[in-house]
Amino acid sequence: MWTPLLSALSPQPTTASRLAALGLGDAPWADAVFSASIFAASLVIAAIVGLVAFPLVLRATDWTTTDLDGKLALAIRKPIVLGIVLSGGFLALSIPLDLTAGEQKAVNTVTAALAIVLGVAATSSIISRTLDWYVETADTRGKFRLDPQLQPLVRRVSAAVVYGLGGLLVLDQFNINISPLIAGLGLSGLAVALAIQPTLSNLFAGTYVMTEGAVSPGDYIELEGGIAGYVIDVGWRSVRIRTWGNNLVVVPNSRFAENILTNYQRPIPAVNVYLECGVSYDSDLVTVERVSREVMDEVMAAKPEDSVPEYGGWFGYDSFGDSNVNFWLFMQSRDRLASFRLRTELMQRLHRRLNDEGIVINYPVRTIQLPKELELQGLADAKEKQQQPRAPASRGLGARPDADEPGPQVPDGGPE
């Protein structure tokens, strides 16, 4: 009964004792052979993991509902394989070889630094493949889609952050004090941010404009200040608009993001056509409504490529104006350019039909009605003015006096 206890308490044979039992304990090449064997074993394990295990994992991800797991497996494949090789190299140097404390510390430092580099590479690859997956799935699901111009920036910024932190960790492994470096980077970053504040404001505003998705190249927009035209490009610094005069207007993103704008392409390209008109008070309003609805039906039948027949035509009286009874017609066009053609066709046909029906569209007319007392007084004043004699016409300076008119009197004693 003491045999198991004695065997447990007895020292286990070490690698050196086993080699000594084989007569290889004093061989100068024994440690090197054992070290090479450990490293070779790590290479074999890395090859098995990379060539056998990961293909099986990728094949298993085909049965899942998402392909994100497959992309993540591809992202960590190389770092894991290289990590196995790095672990084998560390064990091959640390176990068989009789390293001093300084040498062992150097091996540990280098191994930790390389492990940090592999971790940084794996993290950057995971972020990149996750971003690709998100962009692809956002298109198919109809959700928010990251703008193509924004993708490189997000990818570069995330890679810069990951590699920057990894570089600081590597420097810390080599006992380099990174606190002054962090403080210096903070101060220099603040100075640079203050120096390029307008550029940064446009950059962040451009990020907002791109991620918001309110405008896209090809949209016709109108800004609060009266600038209107087609969006040519949405960049990091500015938005470029082509106006009706075929001129290019460049609006900085900082000002564009603060503007109230109207996008004629959103939420759908269809544009409502609203036409106001008025007819004389003598017109039959029932006939006017019938004619207007017939005209809208004719326009939709004649312009199916410009109108939206399923939307229909709408009619309604609006108000009693100064000269006409005002009403409106309401239709919908396919897009903004079609709305111009549809409005033109609607006005032409409505004007022709109203003329054919004898329905008058009055010019602006005002009828002034006065009390009878004022009307009679005005007529009396006008009659009295007509009866008054006209005053004789004044003579000119060189006019000759008439013969029967007395001439100028000459005082006595004056010259003859």
Q: What is the CATH number of the domain that holds 319?
A: 3.30.70.100
Give the pLDDT band of residue 6 (cuts 50, 70, 90): very low
**One domain for residues 77 and 218:** no
One domain for residues 174 and 58? yes
Averaged confidence pLDDT in the chain:
79
In a shared domain, residues 281 and 255: no
Model pTM above 0.85:
no
Same domain, 52 and 152: yes
Which of 204, 235, 263 represents a domain boundary (last residue)?
263
226 with 295, same domain? no
| Nearest alpha carbon to residue 217 among 204, 229, 205 | 229
46-60, 100-114, 342-356, 389-403: range with highest mean pLDDT? 342-356
Range from 18-22, 111-115, 157-161, 303-307 carrying the lowest mean pLDDT: 18-22
Among 18-32, 98-112, 170-184, 317-331, the range with the most confident prediction by mean pLDDT is 317-331
Instruction: Place 7 in a pLDDT band, splitting at 50, 70 and 90.
Output: very low
How many Cβ atoms are within 10 Å of 260's Cβ, its own excluded?
A: 8
**Domain span at residue 309?**
271-356
User: Distance between the two ends of the chain, CA-based, in angstroms?
Assistant: 186
pLDDT band of residue 4 (cuts 50, 70, 90) is: very low
Question: Higher model confidence: residue 35 or residue 294?
Answer: 294
Are 190 and 331 part of one and the same domain? no
Look at residue 415 and tell me if it is in a domain.
Answer: no
pLDDT band with cut points at 50, 70 and 90 for residue 180: confident
Among the three residues 307, 331, 356, which one is the final residue of a domain in this structure? 356
C-alpha 216/C-alpha 148 separation (Å) is: 11
If DSSP states are collapsed to H, E and C, what string results for 5-64? HHHHHCCCCCHHHHHHHCCCCCCCCHHHHHHHHHHHHHHHHHHHHHHHHHHHHHHHHCCC
> Would you say 121 and 79 are in contact if contact means Cβ atoms under 8 Å apart?
yes
Does residue 64 sit in the same domain as residue 96?
yes
Lowest mean pLDDT among 263-277, 294-308, 363-377, 386-400: 386-400
Question: Is 337's pLDDT higher than 80?
Answer: yes
Q: What is the average per-residue pLDDT within 183-201?
A: 66
Instruction: Provide the pLDDT for residue 63.
Output: 85
**CA–CA gap between residue 364 and residue 9 (Å, rounded):** 119
Residue 257 and residue 276 in one domain: no
User: Residue 332 half-sphere exposure, CB side, CA atoms within 13 Å?
Assistant: 10
**Per-residue pLDDT band at 255 (split at 50, 70, 90):** confident
pLDDT score at 319:
92
Residues 94 and 230 in one domain: no
- pLDDT above 80 for 145: no
Q: Is residue 366 one of the residues assigned to a domain? A: no
Listed residues 263, 282, 304: the one ending a domain: 263
Give the pLDDT of residue 314.
93
CATH number, residue 222: 2.30.30.60
Q: Residue 120, class by beta-carbon neighbours within 10 Å (0-12 exposed, 13-18 middle, 19+ buried)?
A: buried
Distance CA 94, CA 106 (A): 11
Asked, for residue 19, whether it belongs to a domain, the answer is no
Q: Which range has the worst mean pLDDT, 92-96, 208-212, 297-301, 321-325?
A: 208-212
**Which has the higher per-residue pLDDT, 257 or 230?**
230
Q: 388 pLDDT exceeds 80?
A: no
Say yes or no to pLDDT of 318 above 70: yes
Is pLDDT above 50 for 97?
yes
State how far the Cα of 297 lies from the Cα of 355, in Å rounded to an integer: 18
DSSP secondary structure string, 227-280?
A: -EEEEEEE-SSEEEEE-TTS-EEEEEHHHHHHS-EEETTSS-S-EEEEEEEEE-
Residue 92 and residue 130 in one domain: yes
Summarize the confidence of residues 355-361 as an average pLDDT.
92
Tell me whether residue 386 is in a domain: no
Structural domain count of the chain: 3
The residue with greater pLDDT, 134 or 121, is 121
Judge whether residue 221 has pLDDT over 80. Answer: yes
Say if residue 275 is in the same domain as residue 234: no
- Percent of the chain with pLDDT strictly greater than 70: 71
User: Does residue 145 lie within any of the structural domains?
Assistant: yes
348-354: long-range contacts, CB 8 A cutoff, minimum separation 24: 349/295, 349/298, 349/299, 350/275, 350/277, 350/291, 350/292, 350/295, 353/291, 353/294, 353/295, 354/279, 354/288, 354/291
Identify whether 383 is part of a domain.
Answer: no
What is the reported pLDDT for 8? 41
Instruction: List, in order, residues 6 or more apart from 327 with CB less than 8 Å away.
Output: 276, 277, 278, 279, 288, 289, 292, 315, 316, 317, 318
Q: Is residue 175 part of a domain?
A: yes
| Spatial separation of the C-alpha atoms in residues 47 and 66, rounded to whole Å | 28
Are residues 102 and 41 both part of a single domain? yes
21-30, 158-167, 282-291: least confidently modelled range: 21-30
Residue 67 within any structural domain of the chain: yes
Residue 376, SS3 per DSSP: helix
d(CA 344, CA 338): 10
